[in-house]
């Protein structure tokens, strides 16, 4: 029998990006023990061949620890860039005219190629163009099908192939580039659990990705474009989860606009029952320093108080000097916040009204009953994971154990708030359900003799979407001793 790994004491999940500083099997295991619950593989860097050992190392760790692992593959998305300069670099002067055109001739201080036909089609007078992560700002004066005249509002040095952001335009770009399609196919083949789609602008952007995934992974929308905010609920209807990608969002919007938008996205996702990740620059100084700034600590704490399902490390764990310390610090911040007596009240500032369904009614009841009778855990038997998501949306004060016969479901649940997923055989009867729930909470140290546990399930068993049972049981001292089957039985 594999020894069960105890669940995390905290409920918010930690998503760690893997990269040059953290891709070996030894480092991945160390990051897990430091607090990482799930791992992000960024498809923007490196080739697919280099990613294979990373996928394999995560799954090998899953087998070693006997605990489902969660992998999020993050697609690059369409990258907008200017062309090249004759001298490799120029300086744009504030107040001067600058031309963007379709001419491939290397540029100078007066013009450069812009190899994106869609921008010329969408351009309009007074639209802003942000270059090099917003360091330079151009304002459109006039535009045609192959030429755009701008005035430099904020000048500075500009070099070859720097990135371009267009916050005032909705571009008729395909949501998936050829690279994205190839990377998506590869990630699905490698059994990634979540696929993250970058630069989502509208709900239609998610449809092709959903079709290509074919139900083999969950789909996550990265909210990093101002145009996505206007159709936020429609976008969330088309995906399984969202990420507040504050990096590009903070380039295309004034910095002061990002915090209220972050709260709005988190609140909307929670209300709609979609797991939400807060990401980018959370402990940015720890790329170089072994300790964060006090402002960064406060930033992480705010996301935890807001009730985000997961908080993410990017370059801190992927390429920084202190990947282990970054994960450990995020873990300790989250743990401290959740020990705050006021944390539960703050998390419930967001009102999550149940839909008029039996499953939603039971999810809300499970949270309330757990609080009323001081239960130690909520155990949910699930096939697709939908009931666990409904319960997690309610942010109960006790851990949620998701028991599922599908390893794919168990892995996807790794991004859900307060959820400890277990891959196990399904049950055949009500009596077996009760006995198994008791055994599992004891084995995974979620309850002890004398504790009450809430059980949610669907009858008839093995029928997805049939959740209709809520049962309260009390653990007695010899429950685990009566168990004679193999692990997962």
pLDDT band, residue 480 (cuts 50/70/90): low
Q: How far apart are CA 149 and CA 152, in angstroms?
A: 10
Q: How far apart are CA 489 and CA 487, in angstroms?
A: 6
Question: Strands, DSSP E only, in 324-376?
Answer: none
Residue 82 has φ and ψ, to the nearest 5°, of -80, 170
pLDDT tens profile 253-307: 888 999 999 999 999 999 999 999 999 999 999 999 999 999 999 999 999 999 9
Q: How far apart are CA 109 and CA 85, in angstroms?
A: 9
Give the HSE-up count for residue 298: Cα atoms under 13 Å, Cβ half-sphere: 4
Q: How far apart are CA 416 and CA 277, in angstroms?
A: 10
Tokens linked to 354: 């149940």
Lay out the sheet containing 128-131: strands in order across.
Answer: 111-113, 97-101, 147-154, 136-143, 128-131, 164-165
Whether pLDDT at 8 is above 60: yes
| Residue among 169, 116, 121, 123 at smallest CA distance from 149 | 123
- Apex 165 CA angle, 142 and 72, nearest 5: 155
483 against 149, higher pLDDT: 149
Whether pLDDT at 464 is above 80: no
Percent of the chain with pLDDT over 90: 81
| Residue among 440, 462, 413, 411 at smallest CA distance from 59 | 411
pLDDT at 283: 98
Q: Following CA atoms 218, 223, 227, 228 in sequence, which dihedral angle do they give, to the nearest 10 degrees?
A: 40
| DSSP-derived secondary structure letter, 39 | E
| DSSP-derived secondary structure letter, 394 | T
489 against 388, higher pLDDT: 388
pLDDT tens profile 302-313: 999 999 999 999
Q: Using an 8 Å Cβ cutoff, are 198 and 224 in contact?
A: yes
460 cis-preceded (ω within 30 degrees of 0): yes
- Apex 46 CA angle, 44 and 52, nearest 5: 110
Whether pLDDT at 198 is above 50: yes
State the average pLDDT over residues 357-362: 88
pLDDT band, residue 476 (cuts 50/70/90): confident
| Residue among 177, 189, 163, 175 at smallest CA distance from 73 | 189
Whether pLDDT at 214 is above 80: yes
Of 1-5, 174-178, 237-241, highest mean pLDDT: 237-241
pTM: 0.90
Task: Find all residues with CB under 8 Å of 441, minimum gap 6, and list them.
Answer: 376, 377, 379, 401, 447, 451, 453, 475
pLDDT band, residue 5 (cuts 50/70/90): low
pLDDT at 3: 55
pLDDT band, residue 432 (cuts 50/70/90): very high
pLDDT at 483: 43
How far apart, in Å, do the first and last CA atoms of the chain sit?
Answer: 11
pLDDT tens profile 52-90: 999 999 999 999 999 999 999 999 998 899 999 999 999
pLDDT band, residue 489 (cuts 50/70/90): very low
Please report which residue ranges of 111-244 form alpha helices under DSSP H.
117-122, 178-189, 205-213, 226-229, 232-237
Whether pLDDT at 484 is above 50: no
Q: How far apart are CA 414 and CA 53, in angstroms?
A: 21
CA distances from 370 to 84, 193, 227, 452, 481 (A): 62, 30, 41, 8, 26
Q: How far apart are CA 342 and CA 284, in angstroms?
A: 27
Mean pLDDT computed over every residue of the chain: 92
Q: Using an 8 Å Cβ cutoff, are 239 and 208 in contact?
A: no
Flag the least confident range among 6-20, 268-282, 354-368, 417-431. Answer: 354-368
pLDDT at 474: 94
401 against 481, higher pLDDT: 401
pLDDT at 250: 85
DSSP string covering 433-474 = HHHHHHHHHHHTTS--TT-EEEEEEESSTT-TT-EEEEEEEE
State the average pLDDT over residues 423-433: 92
pLDDT tens profile 134-193: 899 999 999 999 999 999 999 999 999 998 999 888 888 888 999 999 999 999 999 999
State the average pLDDT over residues 334-356: 89
pLDDT at 225: 87
């Amino acid at each position: 029998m594999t020894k069960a790994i105890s669940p995390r004491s905290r409920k918010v999940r930690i998503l760690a990006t893997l990269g040059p500083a953290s891709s070996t099997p030894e480092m991945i295991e160390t990051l897990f023990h430091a607090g990482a619950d799930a791992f992000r593989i960024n498809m923007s860097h490196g080739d697919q061949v280099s990613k294979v050992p990373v996928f394999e190392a995560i799954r090998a760790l899953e087998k070693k620890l006997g605990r489902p692992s969660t992998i999020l593959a993050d697609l690059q998305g369409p990258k907008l860039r200017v062309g090249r300069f004759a001298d490799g670099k120029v300086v744009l002067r504030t107040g001067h005219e600058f031309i963007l055109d379709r001419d491939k001739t290397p540029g100078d201080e007066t013009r450069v190629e812009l190899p994106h036909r869609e921008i010329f089609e969408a351009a309009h007078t007074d639209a802003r163009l942000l270059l090099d992560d917003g360091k330079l700002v151009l304002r459109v004066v006039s535009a045609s099908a192959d030429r755009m005249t701008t005035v430099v509002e904020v000048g500075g040095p500009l070099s070859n192939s720097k990135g371009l952001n267009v916050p005032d335009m909705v571009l008729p770009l395909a949501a998936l580039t050829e690279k994205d399609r190839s990377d998506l196919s590869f990630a699905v083949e490698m059994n990634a659990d979540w696929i993250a789609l970058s630069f989502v602008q509208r709900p239609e952007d998610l449809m092709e990705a959903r079709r290509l995934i074919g139900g083999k992974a969950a789909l996550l929308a990265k909210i990093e474009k101002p145009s996505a905010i206007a159709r936020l609920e429609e976008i969330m209807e088309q995906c399984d989860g969202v990420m507040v990608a504050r990096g590009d969002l903070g380039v295309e919007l004034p910095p002061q606009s990002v915090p209220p938008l972050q709260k709005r996205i988190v609140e909307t996702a929670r209300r709609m029952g979609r797991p939400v990740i807060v990401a980018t620059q959370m402990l940015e100084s720890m790329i170089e320093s072994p300790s964060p700034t006090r402002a960064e600590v406060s930033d992480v704490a705010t996301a935890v108080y807001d009730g985000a399902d997961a908080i993410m490390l990017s370059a801190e764990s992927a390429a920084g000097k202190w990947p282990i310390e970054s994960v450990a610090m995020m873990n300790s911040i989250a743990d401290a916040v959740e020990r705050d007596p006021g944390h539960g009240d703050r998390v419930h500032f967001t009102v999550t009204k149940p839909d008029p369904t039996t499953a939603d009614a039971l999810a809300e009841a499970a949270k309330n009953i757990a609080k009323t009778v001081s239960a130690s855990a909520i155990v949910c038997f699930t096939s697709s994971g939908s009931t666990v998501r409904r319960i997690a949306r309610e942010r109960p004060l006790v851990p949620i154990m998701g028991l599922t016969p599908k390893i794919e479901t168990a892995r996807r649940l790794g991004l859900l708030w307060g959820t400890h997923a277990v891959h196990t055989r399904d049950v055949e009867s009500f009596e077996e359900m009760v006995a198994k729930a008791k055994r599992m909470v004891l084995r995974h140290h979620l309850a002890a003799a004398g504790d009450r546990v809430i059980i949610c399930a669907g009858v008839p068993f093995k029928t997805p979407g049939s959740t209709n049972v809520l049962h309260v049981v009390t653990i007695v001292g010899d429950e685990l001793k009566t168990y004679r089957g193999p692990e997962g039985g």
